[in-house]
Structure 1
Amino acid sequence: MTKKKEHIFDVKLFRRLFQYIKPYKAVFFGLLVLVILLAIFGAATPKLTQFAIDDSIAGVNPDKFLFYIIIMLGVLIFQTLFQLSFIYYAAWLGQNLVMDVRVKLFNHLLRFKMKYFDNSSVGVIITRAVTDMERIADIFGQGLFMIFRDLLTMFVVIGFMVYTNLKLSLIVFVMLPLLLYATRIFQKYMKKAFEEVRNEVSNLNSFVQERLTGMKILQLFTRETTEYNRFKAINERHKKGWLKTVWYNSIFFPLADLSSSITIGLVAWYGGLNVVLEGSVTKGTLVAFIMFIPMLFRPLRQIADKFNTLQMGMVAANRVFKVLDTTSQIDDAGTHIAENLKGDISFKNVYFNYVEDETVLKGISFNVKAGETVAIVGATGAGKSTIINLLNRFYEIKDGVIAVDGIDIKEVTLESLRTQIAVVLQDVFLFADTILNNITLSHPEITEADVVQAAKDIGIHDFIMSLPKGYHYNVKERGVMLSSGQRQLISFLRAYVTNPSILVLDEATSSVDSYSEQLIQNATDKITKGRTSIVIAHRLATIKKADKILVMDAGEIVEQGTHDELLKKENGYYRNLYEVQFLKEEVA
């Protein structure tokens, strides 16, 4: 198999990145003008110095020396102003561009299927959205325009050198091919090194993020030493990746400085002999060339340095665009807008699998009438939570039809469908924000008064007011300032305040105190009243009150009926489950 040729600079990738510059074209072209002016003004200083020496110091017009000094001072002032403008607006362009890309990336991530997040590391995604974005900004702030400026400076300097003295120019040009070749080799290896560095940065971020999130588990199972050693190994790989870049820099930059010094020595030797013996080279020309050489070699050295920045940015851009190119969105081609649903739900021969060839739901069929409460029971892994995920279209079914009010949910717009369905999950997630904002999720049409009234309706207003600052109490990250029962109560209120047509509850009262459990039970009774409700049941009270019970096992509905109907089945799955799991609860 032929190995694909690796390009040092990905033109196609850069062309795609360049599309984001269009809203800022005026600034972009303004920067190009500044680049040209900086190159011309920079190369003009040695030439003015030559004139000052030959015409005034060593010439016949000493009175003109002040004139040259004033001109050079003017050039310096303008050069400084241009440089300040160039640095600021190059960084400004980079930050604005990366803001647009970051917003687009986040908007893209918001619409991904849950399957994408199931298979992706949060730490890696954070790296793409934060660290990689800063490297992209550096492409313009510290990379592209700097390289362009240095290249243009080199060409202007070469033009001035050839115009001033061809022989001295040829001496300088002898060293250029060697340095250009070294620069190309350096760029090639630096690109590989930076790709390795970015991979290790992602691994490091992912590892740290997951361990900080799961710190309680690590400490409970005394895994501190093991995780410390694993972190050391990852950090060692990260260090080695960076040391490669340091090693390449330590070879190239001294080589560039040595080339510049040797060239200055050769010019000084050859030009000095001509000044003394032949007089074919003026003193001003010799001084000008000694000034020109650093201006020619330093940009080449800086180009290699800035190319490092450019390479890191291009590697980061490639990784970000891979996420943007990922087609993991749920197909939202439906045109029907769901409003005030009655709440009829129908699953018809639904098949689903999270992983290919591992079927989770095997031809599930059931109907829920408007206003009914349906409880789903079964062992762990039977497929109960999957039904919730599919009703909200977090995943695409493999076969079958799921309908609400007789309409296939694929024909309903995602936003309107999910607006009509409220879900209270077993694992409640709260943001590091106030209780009020965690309930409304910043919905503009839900006021604080609405939230307070809803809390009173389901009986949890007093609980909230008992907290410091009440509804404005900050629960911190993941709601750590609240108990599991309190978080569950907040999630009930969050569902209730949206006034949904369909309610899905994954009850989680097994690990809460009796007081919170009673509040949750009262809240459950309140918010399910008059609504179509699907409840993954963990408590006997909910099961008994349900209009219908679906009994699941290994991805199939093995029984369905009311509590009393199912208990009458000899050796029935539900009866056995009731006697083993629920009867002891009733006796207790």
Structure 2
Amino acid sequence: MKSNMGKGGGRIQKERGYDATAKTQKMLDWGLLKRLFPYVRTHAALLAVSLVLLVAFDVTGIVHPYLLKVGIDQHIVKGDLPGLIRICWILAAVLVSNFIFSAAFTYGVEYLGQRLLFDLRMDLFKKVLALSNDYFDVTAVGKTLTNVTNDVEAIREFISDGLVSLLGDILKLALILVAMMLVDLKMALFAFLTVPMYLGATALFRNSIRSGYDGVRKANSEINTSLVETITGIKEIHLFNHETRSEQIFAGYNRNYLDAYLKVVNSYALYFPVIEIVANVSMLLILTYAHFAAGRALQVGVIFAFFSYINMFFKPLRDMAERFNSFQSAMAAAHRVFKLLDQPVTILNAPTPQQLPANMRGEIRFENVTFAYQPGHPVMKNVSFTIQPGEKVAIIGHTGSGKTTTINLLNRLYDVQEGAILLDGVDIKAYDLTALRSQIATVPQDIFLFTGTIAENIALHDPRIRREDVEYAARQVYADRYIERLPQRYDENILEEGKLLSVGQRQLLSFARAFVRQPAIVVLDEATSNIDSETEQLIEAGVKNLLAGKTAIIIAHRLSTIKSVDRILVLHKGELVEEGTHDALLRRGGLYKQLYEMQTLMLN
């Protein structure tokens, strides 16, 4: 996959749909925060407790310099030892309380963040499960992976470590301002002269930091996609000596990440020194004021307290700058997360779905079906045919003729654009989607096995399927021949995708998975094309038991395997061009005969 991310922040913003103006950014930020609010509101009680602890933590922190001022001006200067001891005890109590409130607040806010992460990640995962195939056709796996992992973590960081703490920083600033004005109003006004400098620096660097983090997220998605492709296709990479090119592709994505992050680093390399300069200028203003005010009464404790408050005043500002870092990262992540959550689900149940009859006959009828994955490029054109209950029908044709599309449409992985597909005389769009798919067992060419036991991969955790049903299904399709030889038999754990099983063993497992559900319709999507000779006889016997008494659609490359079916449908460039039995089609001398003779010649 070729990267389309430029090195400049402007292109990144354009690709992600952001306007560079501060007004649009502000509106976008508030819009995203509004979307996040329901997740916070769910845990309102925990948030309220955290805020109370935060207030207590800030108040005890602000009291500390004031107590030092009192101790210096009213007790140390006057030699009042009992009063100094009393202040020390009060100060110790304040410090202990501050520690307790800090620890409790930290635990509470982190727990809140983890709960929010859990809720948001579950919503995303449910959305991924609900999305239709057309989304995954055009979306890289790494992008979705980044949404559910890195992006959600960035949002959690902002809410737990940023948003609540930001409220605390604002409160602390307000308390410090009040305390400074109460200690010495003129001195406070001198210190406040530098605040506009801080606000100006923040506004100046905001857009640059935001676009930089947006680029970081996009580059991270590309890295995840590359990793997924590399790990999934590692065998092909080794077999075809593709290591060098894979490394070059990954290096390109890694360079994009570096460039985007360096943009953020460059912004902060200037931003934080500016904040330090603002803090130091405030100190100089305080020293200047103290110098010119030395001629009047100016207590030592006041100066000491004021310097403490100045340090405390700019610490929240520096913390807010760090939280601004988190904020920009979270906003870029939130945009991506909500973009995924807002993806339309194209395959939906009818408002009042019709339940399938208890005894499905299994009649399938395509009526003038036209379908295109991309507008203007139909892969099925006005296709009509009927498969009677219990009939075994094969669908053949060149690659791209529409064979697999027929199966996808029957399972409602996609919806037809024109025409209709009827099951027992009812449009499949009217049926409940889950019930529809429970009556159609599709056995693909490349079966996907989940991490778990043999029994779990057959039953797929369906509570209606008992252990004896699993074992009976395995016996009927002859999968028990190898399962019984495994150390733990049906409780044997298999690795991801069943890597330690042979192709034939995996296929027998898929037959058992289909058999145990007792569907009305069975679809074999080139399910016997990759079978090794050792299990070929078992496969043939297993298929016979699997299809007994059921309507069957068989897609096969090897035409010799479909001679005995009731009827053969021949597709060519999305159109149904021939149908009939094997012998009848050979006598007709059309496309089927050409395909059959070509395969026979190749095998000989």
User: What secondary structure, in the 3-state scheme, does the structure 2 residue paired with 1:364 have?
Assistant: strand
Deviation string, structure 1 residues 215-240 (Cα, Å, up to 9, x no partner)? 12222221211221222222112112
Task: Give ranges in structure 2 of 5+ residues lacking alignment.
Answer: 1-18
Is the CA contact 2:279–2:314 (under 8 Å) kept in the aligned structure 1?
A: yes
The one-letter code sitting in structure 2 at the alignment partner of 1:317 is: A
1:462 aligns with 2:462: no
Give the TM-score taking structure 2 as reference length.
Answer: 0.93
Residue by residue, what CA displacement relative to the aligned partner does 1:237-295 show, whole Å, maximum 9, x if unpaired? Answer: 211211222222222222222332332243234325534x33x2111100000100011
Deviations 1:417-456 (A, max 9, x none): 0011100011211122222211111111212221111111
Q: Is the 8 A contact 2:570 2:576 kept in 1?
A: yes
Counterparts of 2:395 and 2:277 in 1: how far apart (Å)? 78
Q: CA deviation at 1:508?
A: 3.6
RMSD: 1.8
CA distance in 2, matches of 1:227, 1:542: 39
**Offset of residue 350 of structure 1:** 0.4
Residue 404, structure 1, aligned to residue 423, structure 2: yes
Give 1:99's aligned residue.
Answer: 118
- 2:111 alignment partner AA: W
2: CA distance between counterparts of 1:14 and 1:329? 27
Aligned equivalent of 2:366: 347
Query: Are 2:380 and 1:325 aligned?
Result: no
Are 2:143 and 2:224, in contact at CA under 8 Å, matched by a contact in 1? yes
> Does the CA-based 8 Å contact 2:445-2:529 persist in structure 1?
no
Runs ≥4 in structure 1, deviation > 6 angstroms? none
Q: Which string of whole-angstrom CA distances, capped at 9 and with x for unpartnered residues, describes residues 539-573 of structure 1?
A: 4454122111111111111111111221221x321
Deviation of 1:582 (Å) = 4.4
- Aligned residue identity for 2:94: V
Aligned residues: 583
Percent identical among aligned pairs is 39
Provide the residue aligned with 2:65 in structure 1: 46
Amino acid at match of 1:574: Y
CA positional deviation for 1:26: 0.7
**Is residue 443–residue 527 contact of structure 2 (8 Å, CA) maintained in 1?**
no
8 A contact 1:508–1:538 mirrored in 2: no
Alignment correspondent of 1:576: 594
8 Å contact kept, 1:272–1:286: no
| 1:406-421 alignment, distance < 5 Å | 406-421=425-440
d(CA) in 2 for partners of 1:274, 1:350: 91
Q: Which residue of 2 aligns with 1:297?
A: 314
Deviation at 1:191, TM superposition (A): 1.3
CA contact (8 A) 2:394 2:567 kept: yes
Q: Against the structure 1 CA distance between its residues 433 and 582, is the aligned structure 2 distance closer, same or farther, given a 3 Å change threshold?
A: farther
Provide the rounded CA distance (Å) in 2 between the counterparts of 1:142 and 1:574. 67
State the distance in 2 between where 1:84 and 1:187 align: 32
Deviating more after overlay: 193-202 vs 223-232:
223-232
SS at match of 1:10: helix
Q: Secondary structure at the match of 1:7?
A: helix
2:554 counterpart SS class: strand
Distance 1:71 1:548 in 2: 94
Matched with 1:200 is: 219
The residue that corresponds to 1:550 in the other structure is 569
Partner of 1:356: 375
Residues 1:6 and 2:38 aligned together: no
Residue 363 of structure 1: how far off its partner (Å): 0.8
1:500 aligned counterpart, secondary structure: coil
- Larger mean Cα displacement after TM superposition, 465-474 or 169-178: 465-474
2:400 and 2:573 in contact (8 A); partners too: yes
**CA offsets 1:380-422 (integer angstroms, 9 cap, x no match):** 1111111100000000101001011101001001010001110
Q: Does 1:250 align with 2:250?
A: no
Q: Quick one: which amino acid aligns to residue 201 of structure 2?
A: A
In structure 1, how many angstroms separate the alpha carbons of the residues matched to 2:572 and 2:161? Answer: 60
* Structure 1 position 305, deviation (Å): 0.5
Cα-to-partner distance string for 1:99-140 (whole Å, 9 max, x where unaligned): 111111111111211111111100110000111111111122
Displacement of 1:459 in angstroms is 1.8
SS at match of 1:568: helix
Q: CA deviation at 1:60?
A: 5.7
The aligned counterpart of 1:267 is: 286
The question of 1:316 aligning with 2:341 is answered no
Partner SS state of residue 130, structure 1: helix
CA contact (8 A) 1:124 1:206 kept: yes
Q: Secondary structure at the match of 1:533?
A: strand
Distance 2:393 2:110 in 1: 58
Give the whole-Å Cα distance in 2 for the aligned partners of 1:485 and 1:348. Answer: 36
Letter in 2 for 1:160: A
Match of 1:179 in 2: 198
Judged with a 3 Å threshold, the aligned counterparts in structure 2 of structure 1 residues 423 and 282 are, in CA distance, closer, same or farther, namely same
Deviates most, 54-63 or 22-31: 54-63
458-467 or 263-272, which deviates more: 263-272
SS state at 1:99 partner? helix
Distance 1:496 1:201, change over 3 A: same
2:412 is matched with 393
Offset at residue 38 of structure 1 (A):
2.2
Residue 71 (structure 1) aligns with = 90
Query: Deviation per CA, 1:311-361, whole angstroms, max 9, x where unpaired?
Result: 211221111111111103302115111143110111011000111110101
The code of the aligned residue for 2:300 comes to K
Distance 1:214 1:309 in 2: 35
Answer yes or no: is the 8 Å Cα contact 1:187–1:308 preserved in 2: no
Please give the residue correspondences for 1:432-447 in structure 2 after superposition, counting only pairs within 5 Å. 432-447=451-466
Contact 2:478 2:508 in 1 (8 A): no
**Aligned amino acid, residue 578 of structure 1:** Y
CA contact (8 A) 2:570 2:578 kept: yes
Unaligned 5+ segments in structure 1 are none
